[in-house]
Structure 1
Amino acid sequence: METTVLSSSPRLFPLYRAAVLRRPHGSGLPGRSLRLDGVTIDRVHLAEYGRVCGFRLRDELPATYVHVLAFPMALSLMTAADFPFPVLGLVHVENTIEVLRPLTSSDTFSLSVQAEALRPHPRGMQLDLVATASIDDSPVWRGRSTYLRRGPGNSDKSGKSGLSAVGPPPASAVWRVPRRTGNDYAAVSGDRNPIHTSRLMARAFGFRSTIAHGMWTKARCLAQLEGRLPETFSVSVAFKTPMLLPATVEFSGPSSGPSSGASSGPSSGASSGPSSGPSSGASSGASSGASSRAADGFAVHDRRTGKPHLAGAIVELDRADPDEGAR
């Protein structure tokens, strides 16, 4: 696969303009990846991201933070003329993140993004955007976002996720998610899809009000478990029904903590969910050369109706054998 090396992170405004105006004509996924070297952390931005998502102020990066750094590169691929689908209308249905080595605010690393695995789905077509952070050519973080393009379906059910939420489990925390959450997360993430920020546009897409970003909801779940997560782990989520803002939701987490004794953490905090829309679930993360243990589940449900907004699982990873390397 050809690699295009960028000199800086793509600017978002031209990409959003391209998302509206450009008509894709590709028949397959772009046969190239984008790479950005010398990525450093803006501590002011990191602190604001932590405030919006509920993380404590600390040197170690939240697992979801690198996804925000990779977002402009992913959007650049998705708005290119040879991308097969228009960005508007793609639904983010799943996300898996692997933390192969904790990253800190003082680290410098490379980011690469590529599209892969275009495949039929019962409700249309799916594809993955895969982002990888590397230090000295060794992967230390990987994120896989699965998008659904609705259309004629395929009867094969193999695209269905193993992550499900069958009835609301006992809640370990209640979150009151204010209406501003969509705008707050858009400001720190760069994801300014108007269904999250404009009630008028949300209604045009069939929602009664703005909806939370799916990746905000995932981040808020990890903030709820902060301080109890394994050092290296995989966390997979399926975005279920949209979270209409404002909302009151319940978080349900493992009673003894993800794979290594992590528990559900302090029970407070507003949170608003990353974008979604109706979806199928997330695949569980496979480790890059690291072995894994049993998974522990967590979920977010509407407090009044019990409808699921997110279902997830965390798996502790063993560090890869240094002679084996990361796949």
Structure 2
Amino acid sequence: MTNDRTTADRTTADRTTAQLASSPRLARLYPKAVLTGFRRKGGELPDTTYALSGVTVDREHLAAYNRVCGFRLTDELPATYPHVLTFPLQIALMTAAEFPFPLVGSVHVANRITQTRPLRLSDRLDLRVHVTNLRPHPRGRQFDMVSKALLGGDVVWTDISTYLRRGGASGDTSESGREDRPAPATAGWRVSQDIGRRYGQVSGDRNPIHVSRLTARMFGYPRAIAHGMWTKARCLAAFEGRLPAAYTVDTRFKLPVLLPATVAFHAEQDGQGWRFTLRDAKKGRPHLTGTITEG
């Protein structure tokens, strides 16, 4: 468990719920991740759900998030925004003593968000986070961090972030077959050198690989890289005004965006939904692929 305040735990048929009294403090959790990461040797995932009730959205924080990610300034929450509300709970779970893998080195490879209705600034959300589905991957093992937002007891938003823990790989290490030929760009964006720092300020995700060239090199990257969830949010912002009330946006993160960068965005309709990609503007290498489906 974390050092943050909790009320009494309660046990359900298959999972223990830790009801938090306040959002975990990331400034305390990151040093803990560094100091305890070497002790984690793999094993089973914990069966604990972290819960935080009655969460409200700060108008200024939402506006800052929208500016960084390219959304319009409205009272409706982008589907990616609740991810930053649940992020402290995710990190608390991943730094808890019973979590089997180090936080540092766990790679965010995919993210699927489903909202059943638009969420608004006035909503008071109950948040839940748990981890599940540990399974093999050609490069190691992967697991799903599942976050939910509830209103009146009903789940209105679900986020599944898939993480890869490299090591013990066997067999084919390719994630997919051939890479499709790049489609013509719908739009091109210049991604600034400081986008990692700016997104880190609004999201709380201050992983050193996003902050500077120097700190990124410590983890094997030649330059700082953009957050995967920033690239997803920036792509989703390109669809504003064309999204249904209820939808799923499913994304796979490919090669990191080395900062600064120029990227090419492509979107095309696929039945009642959309397919989209984000690529390096010069070399055509994929940074992200995704789909949006209604319902």
TM-score, normalized by the shorter chain, greater than 0.5: yes
1:196 matches 2:218: no
Task: Show the counterpart of 1:266.
Answer: none
User: For this pair of structures, how many residues does the alignment match?
Assistant: 279
Residue 253 of structure 1 aligns to a residue in which SS? strand
Alignment root-mean-square deviation, CA: 1.8
1:235 matches 2:249: yes
Amino acid at match of 1:301: R
Amino acid at match of 2:291: A
- 1:180-219 to structure 2, matched below 5 A, reads 180-219=194-233
1:66 matches 2:82: yes
1:222 positional shift: 0.6
1:165 positional shift: 5.5
Cα distance in 2 for partners of 1:61, 1:41 equals 9
1:296 positional shift: 2.5
Contiguous gaps of at least 5 residues in structure 2: 1-14
Contiguous gaps of at least 5 residues in structure 1: 261-294, 318-327
Amino acid at match of 1:75: I
Cα distance in 2 for partners of 1:100, 1:161 equals 30
Amino acid at match of 1:228: R
Task: Show the counterpart of 2:147.
Answer: 131
Residue 133 of structure 2, aligned match among 117, 121, 135: 117
* TM-superposition CA deviations, 1:194-232 (whole Å, max 9, x none): 010021121122222100000000000010111111110
Task: Show the counterpart of 1:268.
Answer: none
Task: Show the counterpart of 2:267.
Answer: 253
Task: Show the counterpart of 1:16.
Answer: 30
1:91 matches 2:107: yes
Cα distance in 2 for partners of 1:177, 1:165 equals 24
Cα distance in 2 for partners of 1:205, 1:214 equals 16
1:62 positional shift: 0.1
Cα distance in 2 for partners of 1:227, 1:153 equals 43
* TM-superposition CA deviations, 1:60-118 (whole Å, max 9, x none): 10000000100000000001111111000000000000011110000011000000000
Residue 302 of structure 1, aligned match among 275, 280, 286: 280
Cα distance in 2 for partners of 1:130, 1:97 equals 10
1:170 positional shift: 1.1
Query: 19-28 vs 66-75, which deviates more?
Result: 19-28
1:173 matches 2:187: yes
Task: Show the counterpart of 1:6.
Answer: 20
The structure with higher relative contact order (CA 8 Å, sep 6+) is 1
Task: Show the counterpart of 2:3.
Answer: none
Cα distance in 2 for partners of 1:167, 1:85 equals 36
- 1:49-60 to structure 2, matched below 5 A, reads 49-60=65-76
* TM-superposition CA deviations, 1:239-295 (whole Å, max 9, x none): 0011100000010011x4x655xxxxxxxxxxxxxxxxxxxxxxxxxxxxxxxxxx5
1:156 positional shift: 8.1
